[in-house]
Chains A and B, each alone.
Chain A
Amino acid sequence: MSVSSTDPSDIADDPRILRERIAELECERVELERARQVQFGASRVLESVAAGASLGDVLLILIDTVEAVKPEMLGSVLLLDDSGKRLRLGAAPRLPGFYNDAIEGITIGPAVGSCGTCAHTGERVIVEDVQTHPYWTDFREIALQAGLRACWSHPIISSTGRILGTFAMYYREPRRPDQSDLDLITFAAHLAGMAIERIRTEDALRASEQRLRALIQSAPVCIHELDTDRCVVSMNPAGLKMIGLSDEREIIGKAYLDCVSDGDRARVAELLEAAFAGASVEFEFTATMQEPPRVFASSFVPLKDSDGTVVRIMGVSQDITDRRQAERRQALMVQELDHRVKNNLAAVISIAQQTADRSESIEEFESALTGRIRSMGIAHEMLAEARWEGVQLQEMLARVLDPYRRDTPDCIKLTGPDLMLPAAIATPICMAVHELAVNAAKYGSLTNSAGQVSVEWECVEGDPAELRLAWRETGGPTVSRPVRRGRGTMLIERMIAYQLQGEASLDFDPSGVRCSIAVPLVEAIGNGQGTPV
C-alpha cells in the first residue's frame, strides 16, 4: 500500500480531499491490478515455454496478456528471418489478415514503417500517427484500410545483443505513449526475447539430438556409453550385432573390462582410467564376447558435466578382425609369391639343364621343356586364381590333361571326390601327371584311338590324411620297360618322395602303364563340404 501524506483526520472533514483520495486509491488499484495481470501473464508465458509450447503459441499468450492490460491496444510480434533482412509474422491475432499478409517478408530499412525501422536500427520507434509520419509514407493506405493510426515498435534483443524482431503496439487512434505504456512495451519485448531464445535453443538442441540419434542408430560401428562404474549403459544396434547380441539389455550393466581378453585387460583398464581422468584415447584389443575372439579398434571420449567432471565415456569400436586377417593373408601371399617366383625360376633352370641332358635333338628339348613349364604354369595359374589357398584337384587334372584328349574326349576319365590341394602339393602333382601324360602320348595308351587313361583318387582319413591317386592306361600298345628312363618318369618317383615325403611307384605293366601316388596332406586342406580339415 502506498503511504498517503494526508492526515487521516482531514479526510472525514473535507469531501473534496476524500474524493481525490478515493481517485488516487482507484488509480493505485488499477496500477496494481495491471501489475498483477502483467505478472500473471509473464508467468503464463514462462510456463508455456517450459511446457514446450511452440513459439507461435507462446507469442499468442504474450500478446493476449498485454492486450488484457491495454484493451484498446492491438499487439504484434514480427521476427527477423535467418537472412537478418526480412520480417516474418510471429503473432498478431487482432490485426487484420490482409494487413499481416501485406507486411509479411518486408525488408527492413531506415524508414520502413515502425517495425521495419525498429528492426533496422535496433531502437524503439514511436509513431503517434501513421498518417503523418514519414516512416509510414508507403504504408498509409493499407494502415487506413486496417484502421490503424498509432504504432509503437520496440526491438526484441537477444542476451547476446542480436536483434531477433520487434514487439509492436497498434492503436486505432493517434496516440502518444505514457510511462506505463513504455514500461509495458519494454517488458513485453524482453519477455518475447527470452521466450524466442529459449525455444530456438531447444529446437536447435532437439534437431541436434535427432541428428545424433540417427547417426548412432545407423552408424556401422559399435557406439556405446560407460558410466562411472565402468559399466555399459547403452549400445547401438550395429554394436550389438557386432558382438552377436540382439537385445541391448544383454549388455547393459555389464562391466566393460569383462568383455576384454585377459591379455589386454590391464592395458585397457589403464586407458579407461585415463579417459575418466579426461583424456581421449585410442586402442586395439581382443574382445571375449564371441568365439573365436575378435579384434576391435576402439576409442574412448570422456563426456563432462558443466563442472568438468567426467560423467560418461563414449566409446566407438570397429571390428577389424577381418581386416587384420586380410592384411596377414596378403603379407603371406606376397611372401609366398616372391618365394614361388624365385623357386620357379630356379626350377626352370634346373628343368632346362636336366631336359637338355636327356634330349637327343633340339626339337625334342624344346617340346619337352615347354611341356614341363606349361604344367608348372597350370598349377601356378590355378593357385593364383584361388589366391594361393589351394586348387581343386579335379579341375587341375582336367586342365593339364586337356591337350591330350585329342578328338576323343572320353579317352581320359577322371574319378574322385572334390579335394582342395594346398599350394605346396599342387605343383608337384600337376607336374607328375603331366609327365605321365607325355609318356602316354609318346609310347602308351594315348598313341592310338582305342587307348584310355583313367585317373582315380581318394582321400584316406588319417593323421595326416593321405591323397592316393592311381593312373591306369589301357588299350594302348603293349608296354615294354624302357631301356633308358626319361627325365619325366624318373622325376615322378623321386620328386614325390623328395618334395612331398610321399611315395610314387611306376609299373610298366605290358597291358598299360600304371602309376600310384600316395602323398600325406600335411597342410590344411578343404573337403567337398568346404569345411577345413
Chain B
Amino acid sequence: MTCDIKGLRVLVVEDDFDVAESLRAVLVKAGCDVAGPVSTVEAACDLAKNTPLDAAVLDIALSPGTSAPVARALLYRGCPFVFVTGFSNVDMLPEELRGYRVLLKPVDGETLRAAIHSLVQPII
C-alpha cells in the first residue's frame, strides 16, 4: 500500500537548515503543504497554536531547548506528531512525552511518509 499523505498540512520543526530542507523536500514531493520549517521553539509554538495542521514532525533537540512545549501545544489541540532525533535516547524529553513515536536521523523519505500516514489513519 502506498502511503498517501497528499494534501495534508504538516508542521516541520528542525533546527538544522539542511535537515529541515530535506524534510521539507520529502513532504513537498509527497504533495503535502508544509508549515515551516521553523527552527525555534517560539516560532514552532506560534504555528502549532495558530494555524491549521494535520500532523507535525518535531526534532527533539532545538537550540536552545527541546520541542516539548511544541508537542504539548499539539497534544492540547489533538494534532498528531512524530519526533525526529539524532540522539539514541529520548532522555531529553519530559517523561509524559517519551511514549510517542521517535524516528532516528537520518530519516529516509519512505519512513517519514509512512510515519505521517500512520499518524492520520482513522482509528477503527
Q: Can you pick out 19 interface pairs between chain A and chain B where the beta carbons lie within 8 Å of each other? A: A335-B87, A339-B85, A339-B87, A342-B85, A342-B106, A343-B19, A346-B16, A346-B19, A346-B105, A346-B107, A347-B22, A349-B106, A350-B19, A354-B22, A424-B63, A498-B17, A498-B20, A499-B15, A499-B17
| Known A-B contacts A339-B87, A342-B104; A353 and B17 likewise in contact (beta carbons under 8 Å) | no
A384 interfacial by beta-carbon distance below 8 Å: no
Cβ contact of A346, chosen from B86, B87, B88, cutoff 8 A? B86
* Residues of chain B from 1 to 49 with CB closer than 8 A to chain A in the complex: 15-22, 25, 37, 39-40
Contacts of B107 in A (CB 8 A): 346
Interface 1/0 per residue, B99-110 and A, CB below 8 Å:
000001111100
A346-B22, A350-B19, A499-B17 given; name 7 further pairs at CB < 8 Å.
A339-B61, A343-B16, A346-B16, A349-B106, A354-B21, A491-B17, A522-B64
Cβ contact of A350, chosen from B18, B64, B87, cutoff 8 A? B18
Q: Are A342 and B86 closer than 8 Å at their CB atoms? A: yes
| Highest count of chain A CB atoms <10 Å: which of B37, B106, B108 | B106
| Known A-B contacts A339-B87, A342-B106, A345-B105; A350 and B22 likewise in contact (beta carbons under 8 Å) | yes
For residue A354, which residue of chain B has the nearest CB? B21
With an 8 Å Cβ cutoff, the count of chain B residues facing the other chain is 24
Cβ contact of B18, chosen from A341, A342, A346, A424, cutoff 8 A? A346
Contacts of A338 in B (CB 8 A): 86-88
Contacts of A353 in B (CB 8 A): 22, 25
Contacts of A345 in B (CB 8 A): 105-106
For residue A349, which residue of chain B has the nearest CB? B106
* Residues of chain A from 327 to 341 with CB closer than 8 A to chain B in the complex: 335, 338-341
| Known A-B contacts A349-B22, A351-B18; A498 and B86 likewise in contact (beta carbons under 8 Å) | no
Give the docked Cα–Cα distance between A340 and B15 (Å): 12
Contacts of A491 in B (CB 8 A): 17
Inter-chain contact count A-B, CB under 8 Å?
A: 68
Q: Are A428 and B17 closer than 8 Å at their CB atoms? A: yes
3 closest Cβ pairs, A-B complex: A350-B22, A342-B86, A347-B18
For residue B106, which residue of chain A has the nearest CB? A346
Give the docked Cα–Cα distance between A348 and B86 (Å): 14
Contacts of B25 in A (CB 8 A): 350, 353-354
Contacts of A354 in B (CB 8 A): 18, 21-22, 25
In the complex, what's the smallest C-beta–C-beta distance from A351 to chain B, in angstroms?
A: 6
| Highest count of chain A CB atoms <10 Å: which of B19, B20, B40, B86 | B86
Q: Are A501 and B39 closer than 8 Å at their CB atoms? A: yes
Q: Are A501 and B21 closer than 8 Å at their CB atoms? A: no
Contacts of B64 in A (CB 8 A): 522
| Known A-B contacts A339-B86, A343-B86; A495 and B106 likewise in contact (beta carbons under 8 Å) | no
In the complex, what's the smallest C-beta–C-beta distance from A261 to chain B, in angstroms?
A: 27
Contacts of B17 in A (CB 8 A): 428, 491, 494-495, 498-499
Interface 1/0 per residue, A58-84 and B, CB below 8 Å:
000000000000000000000000000
| Known A-B contacts A353-B25, A499-B15, A501-B40; A342 and B105 likewise in contact (beta carbons under 8 Å) | yes
Q: Are A340 and B39 closer than 8 Å at their CB atoms? A: no
Interface 1/0 per residue, A245-261 and B, CB below 8 Å:
00000000000000000
For residue B40, which residue of chain A has the nearest CB? A501
For residue B16, which residue of chain A has the nearest CB? A343
For residue B15, which residue of chain A has the nearest CB? A499
Give the docked Cα–Cα distance between A342 and B61 (Å): 12
For residue A342, which residue of chain B has the nearest CB? B86
Q: Are A499 and B39 closer than 8 Å at their CB atoms? A: yes
In the complex, what's the smallest C-beta–C-beta distance from B102 to chain A, in angstroms?
A: 12
Contacts of A340 in B (CB 8 A): 86
Q: Are B39 and A498 closer than 8 Å at their CB atoms? A: yes
Give the docked Cα–Cα distance between A335 and B91 (Å): 11
Give the docked Cα–Cα distance between A498 and B38 (Å): 7
Give the docked Cα–Cα distance between A494 and B21 (Å): 10
Give the docked Cα–Cα distance between A347 and B87 (Å): 15
Q: Are B105 and A343 closer than 8 Å at their CB atoms? A: yes
Contacts of B20 in A (CB 8 A): 498
For residue B84, which residue of chain A has the nearest CB? A346
Give the docked Cα–Cα distance between A104 and B40 (Å): 92
For residue B92, which residue of chain A has the nearest CB? A335
Give the docked Cα–Cα distance between A354 and B25 (Å): 9
For residue A427, which residue of chain B has the nearest CB? B16
Contacts of B21 in A (CB 8 A): 350, 354
Give the docked Cα–Cα distance between A494 and B38 (Å): 12
* Residues of chain A from 510 to 524 with CB closer than 8 A to chain B in the complex: 522
Contacts of B105 in A (CB 8 A): 342-343, 345-346
* Residues of chain A from 419 to 434 with CB closer than 8 A to chain B in the complex: 424, 428
Give the docked Cα–Cα distance between A113 and B16 (Å): 98
Give the docked Cα–Cα distance between A494 and B20 (Å): 11
| Highest count of chain A CB atoms <10 Å: which of B63, B64, B87 | B63
Interface 1/0 per residue, A348-362 and B, CB below 8 Å:
111101100000000
Give the docked Cα–Cα distance between A338 and B92 (Å): 14
Q: Are B19 and A347 closer than 8 Å at their CB atoms? A: yes
* Residues of chain A from 99 to 156 with CB closer than 8 A to chain B in the complex: none
Contacts of B63 in A (CB 8 A): 424, 522
Q: Are A347 and B16 closer than 8 Å at their CB atoms? A: yes
For residue A501, which residue of chain B has the nearest CB? B40
Contacts of B61 in A (CB 8 A): 339
For residue A428, which residue of chain B has the nearest CB? B17
| Highest count of chain B CB atoms <10 Å: which of A341, A347, A501, A522 | A347
Contacts of B86 in A (CB 8 A): 338-343, 346
In the complex, what's the smallest C-beta–C-beta distance from A368 to chain B, in angstroms?
A: 14
In the complex, what's the smallest C-beta–C-beta distance from A355 to chain B, in angstroms?
A: 11
Give the docked Cα–Cα distance between A80 and B68 (Å): 82
